[in-house]
Structure 1
Amino acid sequence: TASNLVKIDLDGHAVEPSPYPVNPAGFVIHSAIHGAREDAQCVLHTHTKSGCAVAALKCGLLPVNQISMEFYGRVAYHDYEGVALDLSEQQRLVADMGDRPVMMLRNHGLLTVGETVGQAFMRMYYLEKACEIQLAAQAAGEVVLPSHEVCAHTERQFNDPGRLLEEGELNDPDAMQLAWAALLRMLDRVAPGYCD
């Protein structure tokens, strides 16, 4: 629930009382991105099986499917330096992330940012799905990859907020907002105390 969150400032000091300690590695990673990116109002970091597996592949995220093409040319990579306890790693995290919305922490996990919790969450959701699909495709045999032109075109279809997709479909930012709102309505039904 929301009451389980540890609320801290960019210097790692608690801004509200909490019975829980600050996770030092989480602080190093999250505060670096929050401090460097005004648009990073939410930073999510996961250690899922599929995300960690793709982050450990030399090839990284491949444009194996339509979902992964949403991130074509928009994935940052940060090489593993050990458990993120050293504050000096922050400058390298920020430099590697640049202005991209997602980052693969090599041999570690996934990271997404967003102007809202919903945007960061939906990016993470689709990034995780892209990783799952890539691993399934690679396990099945030789993967067919579309051309650079097709991948770049598909990325623009997903991410140009002024562009409508074919047949009047919503562009991806609008679709993500609708999906996030639907997830919150579902959460209100199945776990109404999550805001506590």
Structure 2
Amino acid sequence: MQRSVRNEVSAEEWEVRCELAALYRLLAHFKMTDIIYTHISARLPGDKDTFLINRYGVLFDRMRASDLVRIDVDGNILESDPSEKPVNRAGFTIHSAIHQARHDAKFVIHTHTQAGIAVSAQKQGLLPITQHALKLQGILAYHDYEGIAVDLSERERLARDLGKKYAMILRNHGLLTVGRSAAEAFSHVYYLERSCQIQLAAQSGGAELLYPSEEVIQKTADQWHERNNDVKYFQTFWDACLQLIEDDICDYRT
């Protein structure tokens, strides 16, 4: 276990570390991990483009605030001994692209779930067939697959494709969401993942799918948009989810 860095960082950074560690634990709780091969990041307070990402090799259900690694958008590990805290190269490419382009994106979540990858491989992408999916209407983007994300030139296209939206399906790869808070980023990935799961379940039944009218689709999207602008909506959901990881043997806030 890594030593605690609580007394070595500011109170503001420690708070961000705890929220990011909680996100890792919640992805593990909802089985949205790919063992060690996906990542979540958080922008650090201040003017510089620096962020936190996971120490490569730590299981998500064991992630602690002290396991997180300070890194900048140029790939420099900002730790006293960088060899002790390696990071995933592809994770750096994806997350640095978003943090560099979107300063409002305080948290960035990337997943490789079975349902998410399956829908990412479907030509039509996410279908507007459920209330869950309509939450993403208007805030969901797509990015074409370019191979394992280790080519830094892909950062420009990742940022361009996401634009000002809050969720993105990485074709043939997985899912990505961003948020102005941990609560918002998690809410988006939860609904995107559930939408993918439900879509696959509906398709597996073999029956013809029922689509709401364009008028109802837009009405529902507008209703969700109102909630997406309500900080209390995200916070209430986040506070409830945190109760799911309160009894973990190793506290994420260490």
Please report the TM-score for the alignment, with normalisation by the length of structure 1: 0.89
Matched, 1:65 2:130: yes
Going from structure 1 to structure 2, the CA distance change for 1:191 and 1:118 (only over 3 Å counts) comes to: farther
Shift of 1:148: 1.7
Shift of 1:143: 1.0
Letter of the aligned partner of 1:50 in structure 2? Answer: A
* Aligned counterparts of 2:65 and 2:113: Cα–Cα separation in 1: 21
- Structure 1 residue aligned with 2:150: 85
Going from structure 1 to structure 2, the CA distance change for 1:148 and 1:173 (only over 3 Å counts) comes to: farther
- 8 Å contact 1:51–1:110 — kept in the other structure? yes
- Structure 2 residue aligned with 1:140: 205
Matched, 1:178 2:248: no
Matched, 1:45 2:45: no
Letter of the aligned partner of 1:100 in structure 2? Answer: K
Unaligned residue ranges in structure 1 (runs of 5+): 163-170
- Deviations, residues 121-165 of structure 1 (Å, cap 9, x unaligned): 111011100000000001112211112221111011011259xxx
Matched, 1:13 2:71: no
Instruction: Indicate the structure whose relative CO is greater, using CA pairs within 8 Å and at least 6 residues apart.
Output: 1
Letter of the aligned partner of 1:182 in structure 2? Answer: A
Unaligned residue ranges in structure 2 (runs of 5+): 1-63
- Deviations, residues 25-80 of structure 1 (Å, cap 9, x unaligned): 11110000000012111000000000000011001001111010001122110000
Letter of the aligned partner of 1:7 in structure 2? Answer: R
Q: Tell me the SS of whatever aligns to 1:85.
A: coil
* Aligned counterparts of 2:79 and 2:241: Cα–Cα separation in 1: 28
* Aligned counterparts of 2:152 and 2:202: Cα–Cα separation in 1: 38
* Aligned counterparts of 1:57 and 1:7: Cα–Cα separation in 2: 36
* Aligned counterparts of 2:226 and 2:217: Cα–Cα separation in 1: 14
2:245 equivalent among 177, 182, 187:
187
- Structure 2 residue aligned with 1:111: 176
- Structure 2 residue aligned with 1:4: 67
Q: Tell me the SS of whatever aligns to 1:82.
A: coil
- Deviations, residues 75-124 of structure 1 (Å, cap 9, x unaligned): 11000000011111111111111111000000000000001111101110
- 8 Å contact 1:12–1:22 — kept in the other structure? no
Q: CA RMSD in A?
A: 1.8
Q: Tell me the SS of whatever aligns to 1:193.
A: coil
Please report the TM-score for the alignment, with normalisation by the length of structure 2: 0.70
- Deviations, residues 176-196 of structure 1 (Å, cap 9, x unaligned): 310101122332233561111
Which sits farther off after the overlay, 59-68 or 140-149?
Answer: 140-149
- 8 Å contact 1:159–1:173 — kept in the other structure? no
1:23 equivalent among 88, 98, 109:
88
- Structure 2 residue aligned with 1:168: none
Over the matched positions of the two proteins, sequence identity in percent amounts to: 51
* Aligned counterparts of 2:155 and 2:120: Cα–Cα separation in 1: 19
* Aligned counterparts of 1:44 and 1:173: Cα–Cα separation in 2: 19
Q: Tell me the SS of whatever aligns to 1:12.
A: coil
Matches of residues 115-126 of structure 1 in structure 2 within 5 Å? 115-126=180-191
Which sits farther off after the overlay, 138-147 or 9-18?
Answer: 9-18
- 8 Å contact 2:227–2:233 — kept in the other structure? no
Letter of the aligned partner of 1:121 in structure 2? Answer: F
- Structure 2 residue aligned with 1:165: none
Aligned length: 188
